[in-house]
Structure formats: structure tokens, C-alpha cells
Chains A and B, each alone.
Chain A
Amino acid sequence: MRPSAPAQSHMPGPKTYGGWWGDIGSLPQKGIKTYGVSPYRQRAMAGALNGYIFNGFSRVMGHLPYVAPPALFFYGVYYWSKSKYEYFNSKQGHYDRLIEEGHIKPGQYERPTVTPIGH
């Protein structure tokens, strides 16, 4: 069976985006020349580690301007809401809320002396 047989088998099917070998959907290619290097002359891993480290680094750095602003913003929201939560559950937070809701007047009671966590 030719490798392109499934594509040319006249089976009913949708119009496909990518075809099979021999009918792959690209422009007809001609004049393709192939060359080979003796296994003793090949350096399959030449520059691999260098490329992995430095090319990898520059690719990550190139992506940083797109990732960093949203990441910093959402980390900021996370950090802000966590510290706000801690404040609301601290003595200071409770004290301030009692004043805010009018249950006590400022200076009516001594302010809590224990420093809330994270402040």
C-alpha cells in the first residue's frame, strides 16, 4: 500500500487541512536534493548545551515584557488582599471597625497595644 493510499482511497470524508504523505497539501516540490554526512563526521550535539542555556535564556527574557506586567499586577492584588484580611482580623482592625460603625468613639477606649501580625 502506498503511504498516500488513505488519502486517495475515495472514502467519504471532510475537506481536510493537512493531507497524507504524497498528498500533503503543500505546493508541489521538485528539485529536492539531499546530502548526508558520515556518522563519523557528524556532531549531532554540537552547540546543544550552549543553545539550551543562552538561547533559552534570551527566549525567556524576550517573553518577560508580556508576562511580567500582568504577573506583577495579580501578585499585587493577592498581596493586598492577604494583608487586608490579616488587618481585618487583627485587634487594630476590630478596633477601627468599631469606630467606623459608630459603636465606640475615637479615644473612648485605650487602643490595643498588641501590634497586629504583618504590620
Chain B
Amino acid sequence: MRVLKSNSLLALVNSYISDSPQPVNLSYAWNFGSLLAICLGTQIVTGVLLAMHYTPSVDLAFISVEHIMRDVNYGWMIRYIHANVASFFFIFVYLHIARGLYYGSYKAPRIMPWSIGVIILVLMMAIAFLGYVLPYGQMSLWGATVITNMLSAIPWIGTDFTQFIWGGFSVNNATLNRFFSLHYLLPFVLAALAAMHMLTLHTHGSSNPEGISANPDKAPMHPYYIFKDLITIFLFFIALATLVMYAPNLLGHSDNYIPANPMQTPPSIVPEWYLLPFYAILRSIPNKLLGVVGMLGALLILLAMPLLDDGRGRGDVHRPASRVAFWVFVGIFFLLMFLGSQHAEEPYITVGAVATAAYFLWFVMLLPIIGMMENSSFDGTNAPASSQAV
């Protein structure tokens, strides 16, 4: 017997990525899982290398990053890969979630992988935020100030809790050390969650674009999907190399090349692009506590997708109204992303408030109503002739 099947650990590898039966009709929308695994691996490897040369101290953090850029052999490349893969990580995770929304991947029996995925998304955002603080440029300091201040909205204990997190009365040396420690630790928690994501997916297998059982026609993961995954992995490497070699700072903010200065706020404080939609929701709600609740709610409402989508079919492929609704959601998402990058002035304040309302109404109203309508029209056209109204 081949050792790949007899060894208890290799048998797992075989069961997950070699012999695993996959639907034969998977499209390229099913390639993001492998890309995300590559991203996490790259981030951990480059992150460990960066940590060998980085110093988490308010006096030395900025110059230690400059030291990495100038003195460490290929340090510039390691850092730029780390920074840009973070962006790709979010591009892929958003596309992965969009695939899940469009094709109904959140529906039973795959509620567990979906729920773990939402937790992964929230954790990923936290890790990305913590990492952005580490170079200790202007945007690091003031971004950290804005985001940690959100904790002060917690009733009664807010201010005390925020100062507890800071380890002082503002973002300071203790905060930077804590953030470094957590930025190193949490990716391993993320890796464990990703393993659980795969574990729960493996129980039932992948869904497929048609939304019906693929059991009658399956193909093994290797070689079919291993090589299909490799196509997008190499495309990703080409895009990443282009960005790292030719435009490494395209997705960053120039203010983060100014050393952090607690005596001067930058003209505008904006997070990285991937946090903008949720930042827009935070700013659109005038009440501080409700803003924080709204921002977290915007992420966690994804957990309710299996309940909110009452359509009987899986996915939007055979449901035209749901398909339009999906693209409406994409539109709201991009609009919020744009609004998050702008100054909080009119008309962006009003448009932001409406877009925030639209974001939540999409989940709690549009989705269930469209599901109901489509179920009714399905029943109307498919009911037995004897039960149809004359």
C-alpha cells in the first residue's frame, strides 16, 4: 500500500488534497481557497523574517523598518511582499465571500465552514490593523488612535478599558509592543481556524455552481484541481511580482512614511483600502457606540445568511431576482468603500448614511423578501396541475 494512504498523517493529506472527490463542474470561482492558503503561508514566512529585524519600540520601530528596507539583504522585497500580500489576501477573501454569497455556499449542510469563515474575516481584519501599526508612521499611530478609541464607546467601562489596552493614556510604547506580540500570535490562531474551515468543509465536500448535488459526477482533487489551482496561483504570483517590483506603494498611504508624531494629526486619517467599507459604516452613524456596533454588525450579519436567505434553491444561478440583488449588494459595498476614503463632509455624510441603511436593509429585508417571492413563483409554476387555480 502506498505510504500516502497507510501513514496516519499522510493519509489526512491524501484525503484532503489528493484523493478528495470534487464536483467536476467547479468554475474558477472555486480557486480562491487555495490562493488564500498561499497568502497565509506567505504572510507567516515573510512575517517571521521581518520580525528577525524589527524592533517594537516607539523610538526604533520606524527606523528599524527603514533598516529592513535599506540594509537587510532583500529586506525591501520581504517587506513589500508582506505589505502587498496583505492586500491580495483581502482581495481574495472578498472574492471568496462573494462566491459564497452568489452560489449559496452558506446554506446547509455547509453552515459551519461559513460561520468559521466569518470569524476568520473578523480576525483577519484585526490582524491587518495590528500589523499596520507596527511601522509606526503617522497613519499607524493615528489609525491606532482612532480604532482603539472605538473601545471607549463601551458603556461604563469604556475609557478604563481603552487605557487598559493602551497601557497608558494614549497609544504608546506599551501599545506598540502589545500589538507586535498579538500580530505575531494571532496569525497562528487564524491558521488553526483555517484548518477548522477545511475540516468542516471536508465533511460534506465542496458545493458547485449548479447548487444541486454533484455526487453523480466527481473527480479527484489531484491532478484535476491541483493543476487548476496552480493556474491561478501562478497568475497571482505574476500580479504580486508586478506590484512588488514596479508599484510597491500603490495600495499604501504616503503619510505612513512620516514617522509617528503624537503632536500632529495627519490631514485625513484613512485605513487601508480593505477596511474602508466598514470604516464608512462606522462614520455614518452619528452615535459613537451605535457606530461601533454597526461596524461589527456589518461583519457579523454574514453569520445570519443561512437564516435570512429563505430561498429554496441554492445559489443565484437559477434565481434571476436574487442575481440582481447580489449585484446590488456589490454596488453598496463599493459605494461604501469609496465613501470611506473621502472626507466626512456633505454630501458624503448623507450618502454614507443612506448606503449604511441600504447595507443592512439588503440583509434583513431585500434578501428574505426576494427569497419569498421566488419561492412563490416557483410553487406557482411547479405545482401539480390538480392543485393549480383554474
Contacts and interface: CB of A to CB of B under 8 A. Distances in A.
A73 B320 CA distance: 18
B29 interface: no
Contact of A85 (B203, B323, B330, B347): B347
B351 A77 contact: yes
A13 B200 CA distance: 11
B215 A66 contact: no
A24 B204 CA distance: 11
Given A1-B1, A81-B348, A88-B346, A16 B324 contact: no
B351 A25 contact: no
Contacts of A84: 346-347
Contacts of B109: 16-17
B21 A69 contact: no
A74 B19 contact: no
B216 A27 contact: yes
Nearest to B347: A84
Interface string B146-161: 0000000000000000
A57 interface: no
B215 A18 contact: yes
Contacts of A70: 324, 327-328, 330-331
Contacts of A73: 331
B331 A17 contact: no
Most B CB contacts (10 A, CB to CB) among A19, A29, A66, A71 go to A66
A12 interface: no
B205 interface: yes
B254 interface: no
A75 B334 CA distance: 10
B287 interface: no
A85 B328 CA distance: 24
Nearest to B214: A18
Contacts of B320: 66
B257 interface: no
B208 to A, nearest CB: 10
B332 interface: yes
B15 interface: yes
B342 interface: yes
A75 to B, nearest CB: 8
Given A13-B203, A24-B21, A81-B347, A18 B324 contact: no
Contact of B335 (A14, A25, A77): A77
A48 B47 CA distance: 42
A17 B338 CA distance: 41
Nearest to A87: B347
Interface string B214-238: 1110101000000000000000000
Interface in B111-151: none
B204 A18 contact: yes
A6 B331 contact: no
Interface string A32-54: 00000000000000000000000
A115 interface: no
Given A26-B216, A81-B351, A85-B342, A74 B21 contact: no
Contacts of B331: 70-71, 73-74
A16 B348 contact: no
A77 B336 CA distance: 11
Contacts of A6: 11, 15
Give 10 closest A-B pairs by Cβ, nearest first: A74-B331, A18-B205, A17-B204, A26-B215, A26-B216, A25-B215, A70-B327, A84-B347, A66-B323, A70-B328
22 contacts: A14-B203, A17-B203, A17-B213, A18-B215, A21-B19, A24-B21, A26-B213, A66-B323, A66-B327, A67-B327, A69-B324, A69-B327, A70-B330, A70-B331, A73-B331, A78-B338, A81-B347, A85-B346, A85-B347, A85-B348, A88-B345, A88-B346
